[in-house]
Amino acid sequence: MKFKTFAVFVGPSVLMMLLFIAFPLVSVFLQSFQVTQPVYETVEVETCTPGFLEQTCVTEMSSVPKLDEHGEIITTTTFVGLQSYRNVLEPDRAWAAIKAFDWRGLQTIDFWKALRFTLTFTFITLPLVIGTGLAIALAINNAARSVKGPVIFVSLLPFIITPVIGALSINWLFRGDGILTAWLERMLDRDIALFAQAWTIEVLMMIYRVWHVAPFAAIVFYAALQTVNHDSLESALIDGATRWQRLKYIVIPHLMPLIVFVSMIHLMDTYRAFEEIVGFSSQGYVISLQWLTYDFLVPDQAGNRSVSRASASAMLTMIGIAIILVPLLKRTWRDHRRSH
């Protein structure tokens, strides 16, 4: 292929990746080493009480942001090195808690609290998504041809629903006097408050994530099941192999590249969990790394945002994603070289 033709096809994609991925990433990386603050000036502020004949005015000194000639707040940017990362990680408090085996103390630090939930959420839901998706795919594959279409449609519904809407739906089913909460209370003959403690909220979040993502894994696996070598399956059947043995030694090895692919997508997506925190309103009990980054960007009472801390938190999240993807990427590269 000529370079000009190649550039015409690839150029727009490269340009979009530079504009929406590379440049913002470089910007976030640089901002994590800088702190931008408004410049304040001290001015006299006169405050008067309401009234006409006996109005009282008091003059006091107050600090207000300094404005330029266009009415914009003047800011100053300072290079702070790794200070923003230290502010997020709080290594001194964290190390003291680790040395004292003080798990509760470590969980009072927002970053480590968010990291604990993110890792737990990611690695518990991963095998559940793979297993549930494979079970759905096998069910679709073994269903009668007349019902395959409706079964595929119904199984894909959770994945089609907008994530926040899906999380809110699960929330409403279990919160307060929700339908499922009322049913459980009637069955167990006791009051249930699933949103009054952290671990039950986490369980509901995991149930929602598996319910939402498993259909994606199912449709990928179902497509791959159409390419399984039927001669191998028939030979195994003639040799007396059970259904589990055929699944273990023929089907799963055939699906392994796609299992790795789904695992990578799931790990990247789940490590950036955010919709669950919003949908379940769990900020008081459970937070994720992505939520922590968002929280730093929420303006405080003075209207200031911790952009530097948010940038540091975002970079730490990306580093975490890269670390958990290394084993899968190494396996993919090894399989690629072996096939050549």
Q: For 103-339, give the CATH class.
A: mainly alpha
**Is the Cβ–Cβ distance between 295 and 309 less than 8 Å?**
no
Residues of the chain with CATH 1.10.3720.10: 103-339
Q: What string of DSSP letters covers 197-243?
A: SHHHHHHHHHHHHHHHHHHHHHHHHHHHHTTS-HHHHHHHHHTT--H
| C-alpha–C-alpha distance, residues 221 and 215, integer Å | 10
**Is the Cβ–Cβ distance between 166 and 208 less than 8 Å?**
yes
Largest CA distance in the chain: 106
* pTM for this model (two decimals): 0.83
**pLDDT tens digit sequence for 7-52:** 778 888 888 888 888 898 899 999 999 888 777 777 777 777 776 6
Residue 340 DSSP SS3: coil
SS (H, E, C) 241-302: CCHHHHHHHHHHHHHHHHHHHHHHHHHHHHCCCCHHHHHHCCCCCCCCHHHHHHHHHCCCCC
Q: What is the pLDDT along the chain (340 residues), one digit of tens a residue?
A: 677 787 778 888 888 888 888 898 899 999 999 888 777 777 777 777 776 667 777 777 777 777 777 777 777 888 888 999 999 999 999 999 998 888 888 888 999 999 999 999 999 999 999 999 999 999 888 888 888 888 888 888 888 888 888 888 888 888 877 788 888 888 888 888 888 888 888 999 999 999 999 999 999 999 999 888 888 888 888 888 888 888 888 888 889 989 999 999 999 999 988 988 988 888 888 999 999 999 998 887 766 788 899 999 999 999 999 999 998 888 888 877 777 6
Containing 180, the helix (H) or strand (E) segment is: helix 179-188
Question: How many CB atoms within 10 Å of residue 179?
Answer: 10
| C-alpha–C-alpha distance, residues 279 and 303, integer Å | 26
Residue 108 DSSP SS3: coil
| C-alpha–C-alpha distance, residues 172 and 266, integer Å | 25
Q: Look at residues 114, 162, 170 and name the one whose alpha carbon lies nearest to residue 295.
A: 114
**pLDDT tens digit sequence for 296-321:** 988 877 667 888 999 999 999 999 99
